[in-house]
Amino acid sequence: MPLRQRKEVQTVLRQRQACCRALEMAARLQSVGEIQRAEDIYRSVLAEQPEQPDALHLLGVVMFQRGNHAAAIDFIGQAVARQPGIAMYHNNLGKVYRAMDRFEDALVHFNRALELDSNMIEALYNSGEVLRWLRKSGDALEMLDRAIALHPGYSVALLCKGEIMQKEGRVDEALNCYRQAIASAPDKAGIYFGVGQALTALGRRDEAIKHYQTAVALRPSWAAPHLELADMYKKDGKLNEAADCCHRVLSFQPDNVFARHMLYALEGAPIERASAEYVRQLFDGYASSFDQNLLEKLDYRTPAMLAELMRNYLAGKDGEWHILDIGCGTGLMGPELRGLGKRLVGVDLSAKMLQKAQERGVYNELLEGDLVERMVQFPSASFDVGVAADVFVYVGNLAPVFEQCRRILREQGVLAFSIERLSDDTCDFTLELTQRFKHSCGYIDRLCSRFGFIVVHREFAHIRKQGRDPVEGCLYLLRKA
């Protein structure tokens, strides 16, 4: 080899060695939390070698750590394009997609990582977790079992497996997974939280409380175990202890809507409605299991009962009804109402609940937003029927709702709804310890007089269950006078 060529090769090798040393240093800094220093090094490497795949990949990981998902996908995606055969690149790109709830995209990259390295334990776990969110529990368990076979003490895989089994009602098997996880990772709060939930499901409340307390001790600034403790204390009548748990959450998470709303209920605060953000977060979290829980566990019959009232009233009346489903949720009312009208519009605060309603294929239009704010936007006299099934339990002061219903309903328009019944007719409404509002029949009568509605039908009924106990409610059918 000519001298000049040898010198060029040596120069390239020195540059590569310097690049490797720089990347190793940056990776060490990144691992100990020196994110900015690591980022500076990655960018300096890329200034010299813009297509260096490891620098692109690791800078993408920095962007992910900073919460800049778009930049993370850009940089890691460039690394994958330049070196598509690196399993870790695909695994980390999948993690970004998972964080964005783009589970199908995440699964593509986790699967590609496993094609390149079938024993990559982190990709097996990540794939199992994503399959769980995609409600493919059998496939998820297969991936998690493969990970656990390679590493029997893999605590995050054991925890995920336990959570899947618990959701399927296999609580004893879930407990076994959690206990194996504790044996290998006795300092992880999430595992004790899982045990607490499993023990709660088995009715072993005292043991559950101890495990929630351990989770709190290990991770004091994690809201979930504090709130579970608050709920258990509340049910045991230990209201001061429950309130203390809520105050602790608010001390490190002042905007936690669940702690705030529970505290309102515990302290009897004179609020007029649950906050929009509380309702949104509550039902976004419930969306995937809402129908199953209500229909199978809580004996929820309100949509069917309200629809029967409307069918009986509207029978024989000519008209192609325009119907507004107020607080439509996952659309349980939709199939009941579809045959009654020409146009069916649903309104709800929760985007994830509306996604489920959309899947039913029965609504002409679905709108996200607060029910009163949305009704304000409708033209006057634009609907014949309004219906609200199990919605007013999150709205204490119903005057704004009645005012808008009066405005948007046509002459002789109908409003059907349910309430949880407050027996004291001299009181308008109260926020109960269940964190739901009760309304008195006397209050509904006063609202009817004020806003020009006639009570066509009122019926006391058990509208669902709270635990094992029936909830006393009342079904109303009103007509615009």
Pairing of strands 453-466, 469-480: antiparallel
Pairing of strands 437-440, 429-431: antiparallel
- Cα separation, 139 vs 127, whole angstroms: 9
- Cβ atoms of 140 and 129 closer than 8 Å: yes
Question: Which residues lie closer than 8 Å to 28 by C-beta, 6 or more apart?
Answer: none
Q: Name the domain count of the chain.
A: 3
Residue 237 covered by a domain: yes
Residue 437 covered by a domain: yes
Residue 378 covered by a domain: yes
Residue 278 covered by a domain: no
Of 405, 400, 404, 390, nearest to 463 by C-alpha is 390
Residue 276 covered by a domain: no
User: Can you read off the two tokens belonging to residue 174?
Assistant: 């879930």
Sign of the alpha-carbon dihedral angle for 22, 26, 27, 28: positive
Q: Does residue 424 share a domain with residue 340? A: yes
DSSP, residue by residue, 421-441: EES-TTS-EEE-TTSSEEEEH
Q: Does residue 224 share a domain with residue 109? A: no
Q: Does residue 360 share a domain with residue 253? A: no
**CATH assignment at residue 209:** 1.25.40.10
User: Can you read off the two tokens belonging to residue 69?
Assistant: 């998902």
DSSP, residue by residue, 28-58: HHHHTT-HHHHHHHHHHHHHH-TT-HHHHHH
Q: Does residue 340 share a domain with residue 298? A: yes
Q: Does residue 228 share a domain with residue 203? A: no
Of 344, 418, 413, nearest to 384 by C-alpha is 413
Residue 137 covered by a domain: yes
Q: Does residue 169 share a domain with residue 185? A: yes
440 - beta bridge partners?
A: 422
User: Can you read off the two tokens belonging to residue 416?
Assistant: 């059907």
CA dihedral 22, 26, 27, 33 (to 10 degrees): 170
Q: Does residue 237 share a domain with residue 121? A: no
φ, ψ (nearest 5 deg) of residue 475: -105, 135
Q: Does residue 241 share a domain with residue 119? A: no
- Cβ atoms of 345 and 373 closer than 8 Å: no
Q: Does residue 39 share a domain with residue 86? A: yes
At 179 the pLDDT is 93
Q: Does residue 72 share a domain with residue 32? A: yes
Residue 151 covered by a domain: yes
- Cβ atoms of 393 and 370 closer than 8 Å: no
User: Can you read off the two tokens belonging to residue 135?
Assistant: 């409600």
At 50 the pLDDT is 86
At 300 the pLDDT is 74
Q: Does residue 26 share a domain with residue 174? A: yes
- Cα separation, 287 vs 294, whole angstroms: 11
φ, ψ (nearest 5 deg) of residue 358: -60, -35
User: Can you read off the two tokens belonging to residue 385?
Assistant: 């029927």
Helix (H) or strand (E) holding 461: strand 453-466
Tens of pLDDT along the chain (481 residues) come to: 444 444 433 433 345 555 677 778 877 877 777 778 888 888 888 888 888 888 899 889 989 998 999 999 999 999 999 999 999 999 999 999 999 989 999 999 999 999 999 999 999 999 999 999 998 999 999 999 999 999 999 999 999 999 999 988 899 999 999 999 999 999 999 999 999 999 998 999 999 999 999 999 999 999 999 999 999 999 999 999 999 999 999 999 999 999 999 999 999 999 999 999 999 999 888 776 665 665 555 667 888 889 888 888 887 665 678 999 999 988 888 888 887 878 999 999 999 889 999 999 999 999 999 999 999 999 999 999 999 999 999 999 999 999 999 999 999 999 999 999 999 999 999 999 999 999 999 999 999 999 999 999 999 988 776 767 788 899 999 999 8
Question: Which residues lie closer than 8 Å to 422 by C-beta, 6 or more apart?
Answer: 429, 430, 438, 439, 440, 443
**CATH assignment at residue 453:** 3.40.50.150
Q: Show the DSSP H helices in 117-203 as ranges.
A: 121-133, 137-150, 155-167, 171-184, 189-201
pTM strictly above 0.85: no
- Cβ atoms of 73 and 96 closer than 8 Å: yes
At 245 the pLDDT is 97
Residue 388 covered by a domain: yes
Annotate 246-266 with b (16+ C-beta within 10 A) or e (fewer). Answer: bebbbeebeebbbbbbbbbbb
Rg (CA), the chain: 28
Q: Does residue 185 share a domain with residue 81? A: yes
Give residue 253's domain range: 220-269
